[in-house]
């Protein structure tokens, strides 16, 4: 059963965010666009940068000083694992900054 | 002149204290890091994101009632959102930062309602993107309307993993497995305690029903022992542990997933209390190091009070009842508190606190983390994520005899990074104890409790009374 489950889940790209039943809809009026690593990302108004990136399947927000990829851990602002460079300012917590139109976000590499 | 009062935190305890103190004529200031009141348990989404709520109706009603009551006093109090309290001194001077400004506040009384944060037992691969706290995954859902992943394994201890798994399912997400360390049965025999918390028991059973109906594979006494995937989580290996928390050989099961949501309980946000020199006590099941308080939340330092989970993990309902009592006490003249009619006026809140605490005591059995679990990290496992301190490096220091948290910090840098030890301190202390550290000790908390840019410290308003 466990082996079956493993295969099934690996091949199942099914339940993507947009298709989840109950998370509300986003249309153009309630969307904002910002860039991440020069790629256009759509966010819902009121979403944090980290949440919007996650909704777009982007999980690695930072490469730390030792080269390890890092993503969201606490989701509420105290772990500082999700630090990104936002509008040229390093060390901004992606989980605490609301996505704003035209924002330029990139993965922080080490200290900057 | 009316007494001035500053409350740190706008969760259940903080909101309830503000309402009670305002009703008694105090001039109340509430500082909170979030944009909206609620704290973590009653976390609110941005108004543009409000959609379905995946919590039980009774839980939503409690949240709406308390937040509603708090909102009704907002025109009579000062409520400073997106403001961090980063230092508190014995003199009662509280330092806060907002935007690029800092300020020192002085008041007749300060109430710390700083709550708790999640903890985890580090395991190989736990720094891989996709491993997050279960409460973090829940926060993404309730305040951001985002599922943490396409296929989520929820694991850990206590009731939270069950709640999070159910809410992910109700949001239309997929839970690949629910692995819990302790069986619910351990709390099942304490009938009087369960009766006193029957509303919460009912909610818990409804969450469990959601998980069972969705046919989510449920594993009891299983924990995550390893994550596969370099750039992000591809699967997690779960294994069965015995009563001591030691992994039983040949019980490993690999489950494909892109998120591992894990919670091993909570630890108190005690930095401000300790920094102010308040006498602390060590109570691991209630959140580690806690300020010693009396029944009205008074600490060993004059004018500083503590309430809610920051004074001992007991949940939102206890926090609300306690906030009422402590808010009233902080608003009162110190002599007034000693009068019998003062206590009589708070009889309902004090009785509610006692009754609901009994339920939380019963639940604590579910939160126990046996010491064998601390054998999950291997030599290469990172314990301090900010400074990349591995178990091997930590063990070298411990073996060399550096057992006190302050010394471990100086020798290894664990706890010196961006988070200020909020993520690793609990693990460092637990591992030190395994290596024979004589007694649990506290790392000396130093300002700042939050990283604040030097420019903000320079951009400082003079000390004043709120």
Residues B127 and B256 in one domain: yes
Residue B332 in domain: yes
- Model confidence pLDDT, tens digit, residues B408-435: 999 999 999 999 999 999 999 999 988 8
Residues B215 and B133 in one domain: yes
How many domains, in total, are found in chain B?
A: 3
Instruction: Label residue A5 by pLDDT band (50, 70, 90).
Output: very low
- Model confidence pLDDT, tens digit, residues B84-109: 999 999 999 999 999 899 999 999 99
Residue-averaged pLDDT of chain B: 93
| A54 vs B187, higher pLDDT | A54
- Model confidence pLDDT, tens digit, residues B365-388: 788 889 999 999 999 999 999 999
Residues B194 and B101 in one domain: no
A interface test, pick of B86, B98, B129, B215 with most A CB neighbours within 10 Å: B129
Residue B350 in domain: no
**CB nearest to B144's CB, from A51, A64, A79:** A51
Residue B29 in domain: yes
Residues B260 and B284 in one domain: no
CA distances in angstroms from A38 to A82, A100, A104, B125, listed in the order given: 18, 15, 8, 29
> Which structural domain range is residue B203 located in?
120-264
Q: What is the pLDDT of residue B461?
A: 81
Residues B210 and B325 in one domain: no
Residues B108 and B124 in one domain: no
Q: What is the pLDDT of residue B360?
A: 86
* Mean pLDDT, residues A80-108: 96
- Give ipTM to 2 decimals: 0.94
Residues B401 and B333 in one domain: no
Q: Which is nearest to A78 in space by CA: B449, B104, B427, B307?
A: B449
Q: What is the pLDDT of residue A52?
A: 97
DSSP-assigned states of every residue in B385-428:
TTTTEEHHHHHHHHHTT--SHHHHHHHH-TT-STTTTTTTHHHH
pLDDT value at A11 more than 50:
no
* Mean pLDDT, residues B228-241: 97
- CATH number of the structural domain spanning residue B45: 3.50.50.60
Write out chain B residues lying below 8 Å of A14, CB-based.
150, 174
Residue-averaged pLDDT of chain A: 83
Q: What is the pLDDT of residue B81?
A: 97
| A7 vs B142, higher pLDDT | B142
A interface test, pick of B148, B150, B260, B390 with most A CB neighbours within 10 Å: B150
- Model confidence pLDDT, tens digit, residues B187-226: 666 777 788 888 898 999 999 999 999 999 999 999 999 9
| B317 vs A9, higher pLDDT | B317
């Amino acid at each position: 059963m466990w082996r079956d489950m493993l295969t099934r889940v690996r091949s199942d790209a099914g339940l993507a965010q947009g298709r989840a039943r109950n998370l509300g809809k986003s249309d153009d009026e309630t969307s904002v666009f910002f860039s991440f690593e020069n790629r256009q990302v759509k966010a819902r108004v009121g979403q944090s940068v980290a949440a919007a990136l996650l909704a777009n399947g982007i999980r690695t927000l930072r490469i730390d000083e030792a080269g390890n990829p890092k993503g969201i851990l606490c989701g509420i602002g105290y772990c500082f694992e999700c630090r990104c460079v936002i509008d040229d300012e390093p060390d901004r917590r992606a989980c605490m900054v609301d996505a704003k139109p035209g924002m330029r976000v990139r993965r922080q590499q080490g200290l900057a | 002149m009316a007494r001035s009062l500053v409350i740190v935190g706008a969760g259940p305890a903080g909101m309830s204290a503000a309402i009670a103190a305002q009703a008694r004529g105090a001039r109340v200031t509430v500082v909170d890091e979030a944009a909206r009141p609620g704290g973590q348990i009653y976390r609110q989404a941005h108004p543009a994101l409000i959609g379905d709520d995946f919590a039980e109706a009774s839980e939503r009603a409690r949240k709406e009632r308390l937040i509603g009551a708090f909102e009704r006093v907002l025109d009579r109090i000062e409520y400073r959102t997106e403001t961090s309290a980063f230092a508190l001194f014995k003199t009662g001077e509280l330092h806060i930062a907002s935007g690029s400004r800092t300020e020192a506040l002085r008041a007749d009384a300060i109430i710390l309602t700083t709550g708790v944060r999640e903890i985890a037992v580090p395991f190989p691969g736990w720094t891989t993107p996709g491993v997050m706290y279960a409460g973090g995954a829940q926060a993404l859902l309730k305040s951001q309307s985002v599922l943490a992943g396409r296929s989520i394994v929820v694991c850990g201890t206590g009731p939270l993993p069950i709640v999070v798994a159910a809410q992910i399912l109700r949001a239309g997400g997929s839970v690949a497995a629910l692995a819990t360390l302790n069986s619910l049965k351990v709390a099942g025999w304490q009938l009087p305690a369960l009766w006193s918390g029957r509303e919460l028991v009912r909610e818990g059973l409804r969450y469990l029903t959601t998980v069972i109906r969705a046919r989510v594979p449920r594993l009891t006494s299983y924990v995550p022992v390893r994550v596969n995937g370099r750039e992000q989580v591809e699967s997690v290996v779960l294994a069965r542990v015995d009563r001591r928390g030691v992994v039983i050989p040949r019980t490993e099961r690999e489950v494909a997933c892109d998120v591992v949501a894990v919670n091993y309980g909570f630890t108190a946000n005690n930095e401000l209390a300790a920094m102010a020199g308040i006498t602390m006590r060590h109570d691991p099941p209630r959140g580690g190091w806690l300020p010693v308080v009396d029944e009205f939340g008074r600490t060993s330092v004059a004018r500083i009070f503590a309430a809610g989970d920051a004074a001992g993990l007991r949940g939102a309902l206890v926090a609300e009842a306690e906030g009422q009592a402590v808010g009233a006490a902080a608003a009162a003249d110190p002599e007034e508190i000693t009068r019998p009619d003062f206590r009589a006026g708070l009889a309902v809140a004090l009785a509610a606190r006692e009754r609901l605490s009994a339920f939380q005591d019963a639940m604590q059995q579910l939160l126990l983390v046996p010491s064998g679990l601390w054998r999950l990290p291997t030599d290469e496992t990172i314990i301090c994520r900010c400074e990349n301190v591995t178990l091997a490096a930590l063990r070298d220091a411990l073996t060399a005899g550096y057992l006190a948290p302050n010394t471990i910090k100086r020798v290894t840098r664990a706890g010196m990074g961006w988070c200020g030890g909020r993520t690793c301190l609990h693990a460092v202390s637990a591992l030190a104890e395994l290596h024979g550290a004589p007694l649990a000790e506290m790392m000396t908390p130093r300002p700042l409790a939050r990283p604040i840019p030097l420019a903000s410290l320079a951009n400082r308003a003079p000390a004043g009374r709120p």
